[in-house]
Amino acid sequence: MNVSIIGSGNLAWHLAPALDNTDFMVREVYSPNPSHAEALVEKLYEADVKASLDFSTSDSNIFIIATADSAIQEVAQEIVLPDEAVLVHTSGSQPLSVLGFAATPNIGVFYPLQTFSKEKKMDFAEIPLFLESENAFTEKILVQMAKALTKKVFKITSYERKALHVSAVFASNFTNHMLLIAQDIMKQNSLSYDWLKPLIAEMITKSLAIGPENAQTGPARRGDLKTLDKHIEFLQGDPALVDLYKMISQHILDHYQE
């Protein structure tokens, strides 16, 4: 099977070379920025830069849209595909139907749940892949391609993928933002953020091992309202942080009082 990739962002940067080591070789890369496509092609065995979205003469079987979420629908409407082409997007937040106007019935979603950055190598074997397919033909191909990368292959609906994506925002984006806030408070008091790192590492290790329910500690978990008040007083120069501190603490209090 041959694969064409539309987009050259963080996901494409990791997915294309990973596929290149399977029976699903990447032959074409399109990016609105040709120099980005060129940089990605240089990492691949036999891929060419495509200058347009006209793939009518392409030898590829699978077309992977790995652009920003906001560009998916437009790409799906513009792209010209060969017969029997399978077209997928890779977004956690977009439904399958965003590909509904594409010129192929063989549409699907190929969503790897991980955070990618260009600098850091990722092992796809550790990454769960979530598939959705419009028809059996598409599903068969997507399952094959996914299993070539990882054993963790799951079929879920667009609605379930949305639940997964919202959960991932809390588990990953919001968690990291809590660390940013901690770092800010430390900086403002001329204290070293590094001091918190052993605590952060141990807390996550423990939470992953025994579950967040059992791993929860702290004043809100203990119902220690005096300490909560002291912390709120400490933060009073930053009303937005006071609101955040109060709301998250209340959510913890409510959870453990139920």
Q: Is 118 in the site for a copy of itself (CB under 8 A)?
A: no
Tell me whether residue 135 or residue 188 sits nearer to a copy of itself (CB atom).
188
Token code pair at residue 60: 């590829």
Using an 8 Å Cβ cutoff, are 65 and 87 in contact? yes
CA 60 centroid distance within chain? 25
- The single residue among 113, 131, 142, 145 that binds a copy of itself, judged by CB under 8 A, is 113
Tell me whether residue 62 or residue 142 sits nearer to a copy of itself (CB atom).
142
To a copy of itself, the closest distance from the beta carbon of 237 in angstroms equals 12
Token code pair at residue 108: 């699907």
Q: Which of residues 82-111 bind a copy of itself (CB under 8 A)?
A: 93
Binding mask 56-85 for a copy of itself (x = CB under 8 A): ------------xxx---------------
Tell me whether residue 42 or residue 233 sits nearer to a copy of itself (CB atom).
233
What is the C-alpha separation between 148 and 110, in angstroms, rounded?
13
Judged by DSSP in three states, 66 sits in: coil
User: According to DSSP H, which parts of 42-157 are helical?
Assistant: 72-78, 136-149
Beta bridge partners of 107: 87
Binding mask 174-213 for a copy of itself (x = CB under 8 A): xxxxxxxxxx-xx-xx-x---xxxxxxxxxx-xxx-xxxx
- Contacts of residue 25, Cβ cutoff 8 Å, sequence gap at least 6: 1, 2, 3, 19, 45, 46, 47
Tell me whether residue 52 or residue 118 sits nearer to a copy of itself (CB atom).
118
- The single residue among 39, 96, 127, 148 that binds a copy of itself, judged by CB under 8 A, is 127
Q: Is 255 in the site for a copy of itself (CB under 8 A)?
A: yes
